[in-house]
Amino acid sequence: MMKTHLKRAMSLLLCLTMLFGMFVGAGAVTPDAPVIYVADIAENRLYSDPDTASMRPVFLPDEETLTNCFASIVGGLLYATVGGQAKDGTDLLVRGINGLVRDILCDQYGESESIDIGVNNYKYPLSYYQQDEELMTEMVLALANAENSVGLDDMYYFTYDWRMDPMVNAAKLKEYIDAVKAREGVSRVSLLGAGYGGVIINTYGYLYKSHAGASLSSCVFLHSPLHGSSIVGDLMQGNLSKTLVDSESIADAYNTISGTERANAFVRYLNDDPYNLFLRLFEDVFGSGEYTNMLSTFIVWVVNAFLNSQDMWADLAKDYNLYVTSNSAALYNSYLGDFLRFTPGLWALVPEEMFADAWGFMFPADEASDKLAKKINDFRPVLAATNQTLRDLHSAGINVCVVSGYNLQIAPLTGTINESSDCMVPTKSSSAGATCVKLGEATLTVKQAIDDGHYHLAPDASVDASTCALPENTWFIRNLPNMRFTSVSAANFVMWLLNSNHQRTVWEDGLYPQYQGYSRGKNLVYALDNGTKIYYYGDCNVDGYVNAADARVALRHSVGLEIIPTHRGQVLADVDTDGEISAADARSILRLAVGLDMLDDKDATA
């Protein structure tokens, strides 16, 4: 009798434990949870005397200072390269750089040189600050007005000093989360990390896993340098030069930098219909007539000669590269060197594979202070564990989603300009591990790196998401520039990810598949492929059926008589998944078509 009661008690305890575990996992994701926005560096402005009536912006500085600094930088580059006056041009360039970073320098210990520099703090919902034009950015307003948005009444803005140790900022984020939970009377909030804000969230997740598991509903990363930034890594190594000599002209180079679909509309228009453009401009000033027509014709000739001159572009690119490589020491002896060397927040962006060389360049005699070295080195395990941190948050029942951009050339500041990116963050970093083809190189093979039963290759085979930390929960938007989530469609997508009652996946909604595209002209994010469709191995023509026609196409492809036109079709033709389309694959497809072999679970891929 005693044994019976004991068994029943044990069974009841086991059931309760399982039930509790089920509800803990499922209950972690809560719809309509308050959203805490952790923005990128550019949206975390630094002020002298913040939160006071006398505060003054120091990063980004006021418009007049910013204009003067950039004028000095651009003018210095032109004077040194085109004008051939290296010393005077460098002096002008250094003056501009110093003006940008002088007020935000850190000391040798990694602390702010000016004790009165910091951020404004926003402890109330964003609806309380609607008159603050700097806070009400285009992106914030787009997200607040998106479908499924919680609105400004339930959106909060966490600010941080991005120069400081990310581990210190992560501790402050933890405190901010607790404050919002207490204010709203809720047990969970959602985090939205944009750019560097994602680094702070990832650091919080690494340091405070238990707190995150008990406090977060959703956690969405937008274009975040989760594995670091190759631009910062290059700058820390002194790799300033770029190579665009292969471009045919200035217009071609600009299009190359910007991406074909993102190329500057004005440059495109100059090439397409320049005469009518200038004619309308001059008619507004001088009126119509023969003089206006002649002036328009002459200006068109001058502009096209400049934009499309191969010799001029080649000379400019060569002069720039030569100047930068010859004068990098002078640039690093300016405030630029100290800014990079002593700022812990920037060291957090140096990729693992670049860190040793960056340290050797910045501290050739290992002369870093113990305090600064500790801050920098203590963060390295955080970066190395990024993928595991994301998986741990996901395993805790949190709705974790990662959004990356691809197919745009990285900003032409350093040598790594051919990385697929969103113009600022390499795709392999913002996706936490995707395998990417460099721009201009051949696409990937027909077989993805990790066969998890799902199809994770981009339609053009330039990205393989199977190697990401979370391949089922990572999205890619082709040609979307960094932080350009300002369109209605992009904002709707972000809020669809964020405000959910379950873990979002790339397969659940055909409107938001793993790979999407961005049209700059229409300011629209759209589906590149329907992620909910099921494809079967053997379906070479991707019509949804496996029949003799597929076997014929596969056989002709294997002997070189025909090429299967789509990359997906080539993947599906490789039935034995050995990386090649052979006669054996054609035979297998024919057997499938006539029913001699049957499709099983492994033959289906989403």
Lowest mean pLDDT among 442-446, 519-523, 531-535: 531-535
Q: CATH fold of 535-605, please?
A: Type 1 dockerin domain (1.10.1330)
Got the DSSP string for 305-365?
HHHT-HHHHHHHHHHHHHHHHHHHHHHHTSHHHHHHHT-HHHHTTS-HHHHHHHHHHH-TT
Statement: residue 594 has pLDDT above 90: no
Give the separation between CA 468 and CA 434, rounded to whole angstroms: 5
**59 backbone dihedrals φ, ψ, rounded to 5°:** -155, 120
Here the tokens at position 82 are 């085109």
Got the DSSP string for 115-142?
TTEE-----S-GGGGTT-TTTS-HHHHH
Give the separation between CA 231 and CA 410, rounded to whole angstroms: 8
Number of residues in the chain: 606
Q: Is the Cβ–Cβ distance between 191 and 36 less than 8 Å?
A: yes
Higher-pLDDT residue of 238 and 533 is 238
**475 backbone dihedrals φ, ψ, rounded to 5°:** -110, 155
pLDDT at 365: 83
Q: Is the Cβ–Cβ distance between 380 and 388 less than 8 Å?
A: no
Q: Which helix (H) or strand (E) holds 190?
A: strand 189-194
pLDDT at 10: 43
Statement: residue 8 has pLDDT above 90: no
Q: How far is CA 46 from CA 104, 115, 228, 347, 386, in A?
A: 8, 12, 22, 19, 27
pLDDT at 238: 83
* Of the candidates 383, 434, 432, the residue with the CA atom closest to the CA atom of residue 407: 434
Residue-wise pLDDT tens digits, 549-567: 889 899 999 988 888 877 7
Residue-wise pLDDT tens digits, 308-330: 555 555 566 666 666 766 777 77
How high is the mean pLDDT of the chain? 80
pLDDT at 268: 46
Q: Is the Cβ–Cβ distance between 447 and 481 less than 8 Å?
A: no
Where are the domains positioned within the chain? Answer: 29-44+122-235+352-533, 535-605
pLDDT grade for 65, boundaries at 50, 70 and 90: confident
The three-state secondary structure class of 545 is coil
Helices in 385-528 by DSSP H: which ranges?
Answer: 386-395, 427-430, 488-498
Got the DSSP string for 222-267?
ES--TT--HHHHHHHHT------TTSSSHHHHHHHHH-GGGS-HHH
Cis, peptide link before residue 60, omega less than 30° from 0: yes
Q: What is the mean pLDDT of residues 179-187?
A: 96
% the chain with pLDDT above 90: 37
Statement: residue 219 has pLDDT above 90: yes
Residue-wise pLDDT tens digits, 328-370: 777 777 778 888 899 999 999 999 999 999 999 999 887 889 9
Residue-wise pLDDT tens digits, 69-78: 877 877 777 7
CATH 1.20.1280 fits 29-44+122-235+352-533, yes or no: no
% the chain with pLDDT above 70: 75
**43 backbone dihedrals φ, ψ, rounded to 5°:** -95, 5
pLDDT at 349: 96
pLDDT at 606: 38
pLDDT at 181: 96
Higher-pLDDT residue of 50 and 87 is 50
Here the tokens at position 113 are 């040189």
Q: Is the Cβ–Cβ distance between 563 and 544 less than 8 Å?
A: no
What contacts 142, CB < 8 A, 6 or more positions away? 485, 486, 487, 488, 490, 491
pLDDT at 305: 61
Here the tokens at position 304 are 């096209």
pLDDT at 14: 38
pLDDT at 16: 36
pLDDT grade for 5, boundaries at 50, 70 and 90: very low
pLDDT grade for 227, boundaries at 50, 70 and 90: very high
